[in-house]
């Protein structure tokens, strides 16, 4: 299987940041395993977001398309991850995000955070995920068997905070 290599590994104080925008699908477990070999700590949080099999109107989904603003998307992710790394020592972060055409059940996003305590790794995992939904130049278009439509807004968190 062809695999890509992480292009960025930024060191901010005592923290490590790795992220990449991917045009091809990936195996999140393999990526996590590889990353964790060098970044494991006492608390390791892990999130995989996958394509739903239906669109925002409930129709069967054929594929999802994600577009980005090349340059700006990478800059906003990098700046944000560096900011949280400066707030929190001994944090390791991996963020992979797909663009292009993605099919139902395929992974869209992988986030992994390791820290010294579970509260810290879970907190930043959630924060990074919400950041990618609301603060990064990325847009989703849903393709069904009848046509396509841009996603109007993000799905709810799934529970009340």
Partner 1 sequence: MKGEKSNKIKVVLLSSIAQDLGWNEKILTIEDSEMTVFSVWNLINSKLPQDNIIVSINQEITDMKAIINPDDEVAFMPMFTGG
Residues in touch with partner 1 (CB under 8 A): 49, 66-69, 71-72, 75, 97, 108-109, 129-141, 150-154
Q: How far does the chain reach from its first CA to its final CA, in angstroms?
A: 41
CB of 121 to partner 1, least distance (A): 18
Nearer to partner 1 among residue 37 and residue 159 (C-beta): 159
Nearer to partner 1 among residue 76 and residue 103 (C-beta): 76
Nearer to partner 1 among residue 7 and residue 157 (C-beta): 157
CB of 42 to partner 1, least distance (A): 27
CB of 98 to partner 1, least distance (A): 10
CB of 72 to partner 1, least distance (A): 4
Nearer to partner 1 among residue 65 and residue 116 (C-beta): 65
């Amino acid at each position: 299987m062809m695999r890509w290599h992480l292009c960025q590994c930024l060191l901010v104080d005592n923290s490590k940041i790795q992220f990449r925008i991917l045009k091809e699908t990936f195996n999140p477990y393999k990526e996590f395993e590889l990353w964790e070999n060098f970044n494991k700590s006492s608390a390791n949080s892990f999130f995989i977001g996958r394509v739903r099999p239906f669109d925002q109107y409930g129709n069967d989904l054929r594929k999802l398309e994600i577009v980005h603003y090349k340059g700006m998307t990478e800059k906003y992710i990098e700046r944000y991850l560096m900011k949280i790394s400066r707030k929190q020592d001994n944090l390791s972060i991996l963020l992979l995000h797909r663009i292009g055409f993605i099919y139902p059940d395929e992974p869209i996003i992988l986030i992994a955070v390791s820290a010294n305590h579970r509260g810290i790794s879970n907190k930043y995992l959630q924060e990074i995920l919400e950041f990618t939904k609301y603060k990064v130049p990325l847009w989703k278009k849903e393709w069904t068997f009848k046509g396509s439509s841009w996603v109007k807004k993000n799905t709810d968190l799934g529970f009340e905070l």
